[in-house]
Amino acid sequence: MRKVLYPGTFDPVTNGHIDIIQRACDLFDKVVVTVAINPTKTPLFSVKERIKFIADSVQDFPKVSVDSFDGLVVDHAKNIGAIGIIRGLRAMSDFEYEFQMALMNRKLAKKINTVFLMPHEKYTYLNSSIIRNLASFNSDVSDFVPPIVQEALKIKFRK
C-alpha cells in the first residue's frame, strides 16, 4: 500500500487543503492528513476541533484518515509507514521554504520522498491566515472553506 502523510496546522482547513487531499487520493492508496502541533504558533482552533473539521470535510474520501502529531514530520511518517510527505505549493513564495524542508527531511529519512502538489488555481492565493483575518471582520468565507469551518468561524468571531 502506498501511504502518504499530509501534515499541516490546518488552522483552519481551507478548500485549497481539501483540493490537495483530493489530488493526493488520486495518486496514492492511503492519505493520512495530520494536524501538526506547532509550539511556535497560537492556533485559533484546538487540535480536536481541527481534526473534526478535516474529518467532516473528507468524509466522502475513503482513502483518507485524520490524526495529529507532535514532533518531527519525518518521524511521524516513519511511524505510520508512509512512503512520502505531501506538501502544497501555492506560489513561488512557498517554494524556497518547502524545498529546504524537503531536503532536510530527505537527510533525516532517505526513503521518505516529498511530493509537491499544486492546488487548483482558484485556491492559489488562499491560506489559513487570510481566512482567519477575513472571518474576524465578519466577511463571507463560504467560497474558501468547508461549511463546518464557516460556521465555526462565525461562532468564534461573533461580536
Q: What's the pTM value of the predicted model, to 2 decimals?
A: 0.94
Quick check: is 134 in a domain?
no
Q: How far is CA 35 from each of CA 32, 52, 55, 130, rounded to the nearest angstrom?
A: 10, 11, 11, 19
Residue range 4-56, pLDDT digits in tens: 999 999 999 999 999 999 999 999 999 999 999 988 889 999 999 999 999 99
Q: Which residues, other chains included, contact 127 with Cβ-Cβ below 8 Å and sequence gap of 6+? A: 14, 16, 90
Quick check: is 78 in a domain?
yes
Q: Cell for 80?
A: 505510520
Which CATH number is 63's domain given?
Answer: 3.40.50.620
Quick check: is 159 in a domain?
no
In eight-state DSSP terms, residue 138 is T
pLDDT averaged over the chain? 94
Tell me the mean pLDDT in the region 148-156: 96
Q: In total, how many domains does the chain have? A: 1
Quick check: is 141 in a domain?
no
Residue 65 pairs in a beta bridge with 32
Quick check: is 133 in a domain?
no
User: What integer pLDDT is reported at residue 95 of this predicted model?
Assistant: 85
Full residue range of the structural domain in which residue 71 is found: 3-124
Quick check: is 150 in a domain?
no
Quick check: is 48 in a domain?
yes
User: What integer pLDDT is reported at residue 137 of this predicted model?
Assistant: 95
User: What integer pLDDT is reported at residue 159 of this predicted model?
Assistant: 58
Q: How confident is the model at residue 106 (pLDDT cuts 50, 70, 90)?
A: very high
Tell me the mean pLDDT in the region 66-89: 95
Catalytic residue numbers read 17, 41, 90, 128
pLDDT over 90 at 123, yes or no: no
Residue range 132-145, pLDDT digits in tens: 999 999 999 999 99
Quick check: is 99 in a domain?
yes
Report d(CA 50, CA 12) in Å as an integer. Answer: 7
CB atoms within 10 A of CB 143: 10
